[in-house]
Structure 1
Amino acid sequence: MSTVLTYLLLSRHSVYYFRIVVPDVIRLLFHRRDIRRSLQTRCRREALIRGRAGSAAFQRGVSRHQAVS
């Protein structure tokens, strides 16, 4: 069974991108609704690995900010 991860996007050039929506609480710090970064790969398996790492890093940053506030 294949699942679609919401933080992975495939560009029209077949390059995977990481995308995550910035929570309302910290949106003023980022000045944008979402963050998109190229994972610089066309391989889905590699994109999953890099995407999970990006998601974990973002969640750590959000948690750190909420702990300070």
Structure 2
Amino acid sequence: MDIAAISSMLSQSNVQQQAGISVLKMAMGVAASNGNSLVSMLSEATKSMELSVQPNLGANIDIQA
């Protein structure tokens, strides 16, 4: 093999590797976003469940002296 062919193959390999890394970074960003959305949905569901069990708890404060 000549040096030009080896250089071309190495360059192509580097480009493929960089493209793969970019795709993985995008996938990680999507997964992080989905995780954050899931956490917020779970916290909202927990709050609504607590209110449905005891809806009047904490609604009134008696401050007589």
- TM-score between both structures, scaled by the size of structure 1: 0.38
Q: Which has the larger radius of gyration?
A: 2
Higher RCO (C-alpha 8 Å, min separation 6): 1
- TM-score between both structures, scaled by the size of structure 2: 0.41
